[in-house]
Structure 1
Amino acid sequence: MDRYLSGHQLARLVAIDPGARPYYRALAGAVRSLILDGRLPVRVRVPAERHLADALGVSRTTVTAAYDRLREQGYLESRQGAGSWTALPDPGALGTENPWIAAGDDGLLPLHCAAPHATAGLPEAIAYASEHYPRYGLGMGYDPVGIGPLREAIAARYTARGLATLPEQILVTTGAQQAIHLVIMMVLAPGDAMMIESPTYPHAIDLARMRGARIVPVGIPEEGWDLDLFASAMRQSAPRLTYVIPDFQNPTGHLMDDAARAGLVGAARRNDTTLVVDETWCELAIDEVPRTAPLGAFDTDNRVISVGSASKLWWGGLRIGWIRATAATVRRLAVLRAAVDIASPLFEQLVVTRLFERIEETRAERRRSLGASRQALVAALRERVPEWSFTVPQGGGSLWVRLDGPAAGPLADAAACHGVRLAPGTWFGVDGTLESRLRLPFTQPPQVVEEAVERIAEARTRGSYGARPAEPLTPAL
């Protein structure tokens, strides 16, 4: 016999604030939460609209709108004359009240990841790559340092940004992640000190641990980098390598000015440390910001190695990155890289080569899309969770949010039960720090971030934050 709920039974379960507005959205959200946390099993028949309306003391139109919303999102299935049953949506349709809202592979809205959707120019670039791909068929099909046209395009972009660069100074890699890995393997021996910002990109921490490095974190204050702290830490710990993100730092969003860049390179010179500069976000200014030169422009003794990527500007699926260093360093890295994968895929290199030709169009497109999503995220947080604080960055892809208590991990667990995967602050630090922080990206469309904040607010209201979460299965990007 089919299981079912009466109107009064479901009304007792949802427990909605009578002042909630719009009420139909609150009702739909409450039912969705019941399904996601298992209190309302799948394949249970829900009461007819008029019965639930009577039990809640609202109009039938309100319940109809709530049921319609749940059907659109995939949480109700209905058949004419037979009623409606609770359901779980397909992973690709979770939260889809319009085609912009997409979930991750685990069925949760992917707010743990800051990778944006593809830009409008990608299809044409793919067509270009398809057309030119056969031209390379007479050769080996790979080049350990990268194809010439792409290296020329990357070098030209560095030159345009204020750092004169030759193609011989560029090594194309399979993403920025591989680029960082290669540099760490070349520079560090097990036991050497590696200085990082705190917070920082989580996979840089992972790579340092894999190499057996001694990690030296240096905190970033609310207003940005403190050069005295950096110089003092360099002097005391003598790091062989220092990893920094000066352009819309991930996750804080800070932008380092030229004076600080010159000071940082000077401190590295005095303390004989190699600077690895992650420029993954450097092209993603949203507001008008002062023009800054690449960190390598302040380098006088070849100790700055720059890393870039196609993933944030164009698309996360383009696993193409690069290293900018001296020609001699590029040759050393190419030899080291040969033990890993020999070369990056030719097709993707051709795609990125074409995309470089329209880089300013892409930057303008990103300014519009990221700006709209940032505005939506800021407004939603200020409305739904005014107790949280943050500084709105001038570019990049995320807000670095301070919670009203050290509960980022438990909140992430509770949010997962409400259909959102989050990146707690502990991912971005070492030794379990940053538990009162949360990184919230605005690289998804406005509808997604608004829906996500609504679910986070529900999780915060309903969730129990008693236990620390298990180690996350999915890394933050």
Structure 2
Amino acid sequence: MPPHPTLPDAPRWAALLTGWRRNPTAPTLQGRLTSTLQTLISTGQLSPGERLPAERPLAALLGLSRNTVAQALDDLAASGWVTRRVGSGTHVSGSAPRTAPLLTLRTPVSPAHPGPHPIHLTQAGPAELDFTIAVPLLTEPQRQRLREATLDAFQESLYHPLGLPDLRACIAEMYATQGLPTTPEQIIVTSGAQQAISLTATTLLRRGDHALLESPTYFGAIDVFRAAGATLTGVPITPHGVNPDTFMTLARTHAPRLAFLTPTYQNPTGTVLPTHARARLAAFIHDTHLPTIEDDTLTDLSFDPHDHPGSPPPRLSAHAPDAPIINVGSLSKLYWAGLRVGWMRVPHTLTAPLTQAKTLADFGGSQPAQHAALHLLQNLPTLRQERRDAITPARDHLAYLLRTHLPDWTFNTPHGGQFLWVQLPTPTASAYTHHAARHGLRLFPGASMGVDPLPDQYLRLPFTLHPDHIPEAVTRLSRAWAEFTSRGSERLA
């Protein structure tokens, strides 16, 4: 493949410009790119004085001709949005209209421009297949179970800021049964795991504090910690999760105020931290009083029964129940993303500030949703088995088709979770995601999940698509890859 022009922070620009081709404000690609860049400037996602990419690398990222990009940037300059000078590049104008500044979110969102898809999409199946978000599929019996679970949800009109008492007791018993002594007073029910992570970060972090995260890691945690103003340091993920020695060295060097770890079926790599490494980390966290979020949201997504010898080791916090480890869980991955019920198991030393933060946030979550969660969690083994039965064939089918049709893509088949962490033989996977969009695929550059710069060679592919759509998805991946590699840096619109 011909070499590609280098684009600094290509994953960020790939995320910023996601969906730009569907921008309905202009009939031409040049006009759509101009309009999208104007929106990024006016919303504050591009700051005054910030340098835009050079023409050639931006054209390579988006699969456009250099002339199309140059004309779009010239149009922005003519209308005062940017300044362009030979030798110094293109910069956002200090006088350009804008609102309050916004972060460039790593978290994938729905397309900004839900306009028509490219005409050349004639493949069978949905016009667009989304690989950016992993959401479980509900069966009709599961929908009926949800309806039945809310029948008793309308008996009272009280606020429960920390969650329904019965639900808190149920979650506490679940942790205790799994080897982590817990009282109901330690449980705070939240609107999904994301709210639990956000409440913890905003409570414990101040602008300029350091935070320690795995790299790569869950994009929602990266966004929350950045929004809190923290300086992020990444702990590289090895084939067996984080290296305890590396974690401890970085913690001593940077003195973080908060850490974030996913020891079981790590997102996105699927790694599982061994028991001995968990024990060492837990002892260090206990001795240094380092507040640490342990993300439990994928723990129940094992491909083996939980009494199987290959089942996940005990939680990190189980090795040090009194350490400042906040366990975060949710039903979104195990049952349904629309059931926005999560929780955190809070150590006694942190219950007061986190209880206050939750009370200030919303006075309590939806009671019907919490009644449904209570009903479901009372039969946790059934939930696990249903999800295992649904997701294991999908994982195996996707892995088989990728190895058959894209043999130069490499990955390990995980023992749990819901993702394949795929390495592509290219240094410009971000550019491939934009090319794939023209084939009706939404992809997420794996490098966007890096706390520190990662090689731009990875994709995170969830195996939660409808099983009937997996063959079509791989067909589109393969077709887009063949075109991408054949055209190289000379891809034209």
Q: TM-score, normalised to structure 2's length? A: 0.71
Output one character per residue of 1:264-293: Cα deviation in whole Å (capped at 9) or x when no partner. 112223443111101000001013424421
Asked if the contact 1:406/1:437 (under 8 Å) is kept, the reply is no
Identify the match of residue 212 of structure 1 among 218, 225, 229. Answer: 229
Distance in structure 2 (CA, Å) of the matches to 1:368 and 1:309: 19
Change (3 A) 1:263 1:336: same
**Cα separation, 2, equivalents of 1:115 and 1:131:** 25
Conserved in 2, the CA contact under 8 Å of 1:119 and 1:365? no
From the superposition, tell whether residues 205 and 465 of structure 1 become closer, same or farther in structure 2 (CA, over 3 Å).
farther
Is 1:222 matched with 2:239?
yes
Tell whether 2:220 aligns with 1:203. Answer: yes
1:15-41 superposed Cα distances (whole Å, 9 cap, x missing partner):
xxxxxxxxxxxxxxxxxxxxxxx99xx
Write out aligned runs for 1:266-281 (5 A): 266-281=283-298
Q: Match for 1:308 among 310, 329, 336? A: 329
Q: 1:193 aligns with which of 210, 213, 221?
A: 210
Please tell me whether the aligned partners of residues 241 and 273 of structure 2 are also in contact (alpha carbons under 8 angstroms). Answer: yes
1:395 aligned residue: 416
Partner of 2:405: 384
Gaps of 5+ in 1: 1-37, 40-74, 76-85, 97-102, 469-477
* Partner residue, 1:456: 477
Where do 1:163-202 residues align within 5 Å? Answer: 163-202=180-219
Q: Which stretch of structure 1 is more off in the superposition, 118-127 or 386-395?
A: 118-127
Aligned length: 370
Distance 1:317 1:169 in 2: 25
In structure 2, which of residues 278, 281, 298 is the aligned counterpart of residue 261 of structure 1? 278
Note if contact 2:135-2:337 (Cα within 8 Å) is conserved in structure 1.
yes
Give the counterpart letter for 2:338 in structure 1: G
Q: Cα–Cα, structure 1 residues 184 and 457, in superposed 2: closer, same or farther, change >3 Å? A: same
Q: Which amino acid aligns with 1:126?
A: L
Task: Give the secondary-structure state (helix, strand or coil) at the position aligned to 2:361.
Answer: coil
SS at match of 2:436: helix
Whole-angstrom distance in 2 between the partners of 1:241 and 1:128: 40
Query: Conserved in 1, the CA contact under 8 Å of 2:241 and 2:266?
Result: no
| Equivalent residue number for residue 386 of structure 2 | 365
Partner of 2:130: 110
Please give the residue correspondences for 1:7-406 in structure 2 after superposition, counting only pairs within 5 Å: 95-96=124-125, 107-118=127-138, 122-136=142-156, 139-140=157-158, 142-287=159-304, 288=308, 289-299=310-320, 301-327=322-348, 329-406=350-427
* Residue 426 (str. 1) matches residue 454 (str. 2): no
Which AA in structure 1 matches 2:134?
A
State the one-letter code of the partner of 2:223: D
- 1 CA distance for matches of 2:258 and 2:328? 14
Give the match for residue 38 of structure 2.
none
SS in 1 for 2:422: strand
Q: Report the equivalent of 1:34.
A: none
8 Å CA contact 1:121, 1:355 repeated in 2: no
| TM-score after normalising by structure 1 | 0.73
The 2-side partners of 1:294 and 1:393 are apart by: 18
- For 2:244, give the aligned amino acid: L
Larger radius of gyration: 1
Q: What is the letter of the counterpart of residue 145 of structure 1? A: L
Question: CA, structure 1 residues 308+130, in 2 after alignment: closer, same or farther (shift >3 Å)?
Answer: closer
* Equivalent-residue separation in structure 1 for 2:425 and 2:284 (angstroms): 36
CA contact (8 A) 1:402 1:436 kept: yes
Query: Quick one: distance in 2 between partners of 1:172 and 1:185?
Result: 17
Q: RMSD of the TM alignment (CA)?
A: 2.4
- Relative distance call for 1:404 and 1:416 in structure 2 (3 A) is same
Moved more, 352-361 or 306-315: 352-361
Q: Which runs of 5+ in 2 are unaligned?
A: 1-27, 30-115
Q: Give the superposition deviation at 1:295.
A: 1.6
Greater relative contact order structure (CA < 8 Å, 6+ sep): 2
In the alignment, the residues of structure 2 paired with residue 348 and residue 439 of structure 1 have an alpha-carbon distance, to the nearest angstrom, of: 30
Q: 1:409 corresponds to which letter in structure 2?
A: S
Query: Greater CA deviation, 325-334 or 376-385?
Result: 325-334
Q: CA deviation at 1:186?
A: 1.6
Give the 3-state SS of the residue equivalent to 2:299 in structure 1. coil
Aligned CA distance change for structure 1 residues 409 and 467 (closer, same or farther; 3 Å): farther
SS in 1 for 2:242: coil
**Match status 1:440 vs 2:457:** no
Change (3 A) 1:121 1:354: farther
Answer whether contact 2:324 2:349 (CA < 8 A) is retained: no
User: Conserved in 2, the CA contact under 8 Å of 1:119 and 1:315?
Assistant: no
Give the C-alpha shift of residue 450 in structure 1: 2.2
**Distance in 1, Cα, partners of 2:124 & 2:225:** 37
Shift of 1:414: 1.1
Q: Distance in 2 between matches of 1:347 and 1:423?
A: 33
State the Cα deviation string for residues 338-382 of structure 1 (Å, max 9, x = none).
Answer: 332221111111111111122111211111111101111110110
Cα distance in structure 1, aligned partners of 2:313 and 2:424:
31
Q: Look up the equivalent residue of 1:429 and give its one-letter code.
A: G
The one-letter amino acid paired with 1:371 is: T
What is aligned with 1:49? none
8 A contact 1:169–1:326 mirrored in 2? yes
What does residue 61 of structure 1 align with? none
Note the C-alpha offset of 1:224.
Answer: 3.0
SS of residue paired to 2:152: helix
Q: Distance in 2 between matches of 1:423 and 1:323?
A: 28
SS in 2 for 1:438: strand
Percent of paired sites with the same residue: 36
- Check 1:95–1:431 CA distance in 2 against 1; reply closer, same or farther (3 A cut): farther
SS at match of 2:376: helix
Aligned letter for 1:113? I
Pair 452,296 (structure 1): closer, same or farther in 2 beyond 3 Å: same
Residue 402 of structure 1 and its aligned partner are, at CA, apart by: 0.9
On the 8 A contact 2:235/2:242 being kept in 1, the answer is no
Q: Amino acid of the residue matched to residue 299 of structure 1?
A: A
